[in-house]
Amino acid sequence: MIESTPDGSFLDVIRNAADLLSQCNINIPKIADNSKYIHFGPPFIILLHPALGPLWEVTTQKFFGGSISKGSELQVEVAEFLWRDVQLNGSLIIVAENIMGSTRINVHGEPILHYGHRCGRCKLNNVKVLNKGIDWASAKNVYWKQDIKRFEMLKVLLHGNAEFEATNVVLEGNQVFEVPDGYRMCVFSSNAGFEVKLEPIEEEMMETESWFWEYNLSGPHIQLKQIIF
């Protein structure tokens, strides 16, 4: 039995994330009972940072369409995020240095987090991710510790207020896209497979960013609208 253990808690997190994304028209495999985990590990891994919501009503508006195949891994450590029709077969890890905002020093010399200011941002639109992902046969994997052996992965690292955008592209194999603070990286399809364009964010957008989610109340509900400059 794995209830009330780190493994059981980890599986609950995955179940909750799968339940959430299944409401977003994303095709996700079913999770079997806990006994399967003991012998085979989780059927996939989905870890979503709470700042994506934290309300499910908010998070579900940032995801729509696509699929997550059995044996895949999705980790999203960024709050300003858009997923549209992404097909994931392998490992996709997105990590922002400034997940919820940036730190400033106040008059007392103390670091203060300014929410929503100079966040990392990521948009994926009609993207197919294909790689070998996790080595599920490795006996050394400790999933709840994130001590995992991988054959390949697609990793996006966002420093400061960096932005990453991939559109209409297939990304295969082991790939790392690292975006410096103050830059925007765009990845799109080309004859060679894909092309990468890295350019500085315009000075006038350094503080306002090139896009953001606008939150509006509609009765008891929260509605998101993407604002693009």
Mean pLDDT of 196-211: 86
d(Cα 229, Cα 225) in Å, to the nearest integer? 13
Percentage of the chain lying above the pLDDT 90 cut: 76
Cβ contact 222:206 at 8 Å: no
Cis peptide before 54 (omega within 30 of 0): yes
Residues 6 or more apart whose Cβ sits within 8 Å of residue 70: 29, 43, 44
**Which has the higher per-residue pLDDT, 111 or 166?**
166
Domain boundaries, the chain: 47-228
Mean pLDDT of 184-205: 92
Closest by CA position to 124, among listed 161, 154, 152: 154
Over 70: is that where the pLDDT of 1 sits?
Answer: no
Write out pLDDT tens, residues 69-98.
999 999 999 999 999 999 999 999 999 999
d(Cα 187, Cα 154) in Å, to the nearest integer? 13
d(Cα 224, Cα 221) in Å, to the nearest integer? 10
pTM listed for this prediction = 0.93
Percentage of the chain lying above the pLDDT 70 cut: 100
pLDDT for 98: 92
Over 80: is that where the pLDDT of 183 sits?
Answer: yes
Buried b (16+ CB within 10 A) or exposed e, 130-149: bbebbebeeeebebeeeebe
For residue 7, the 8-state DSSP code is: H
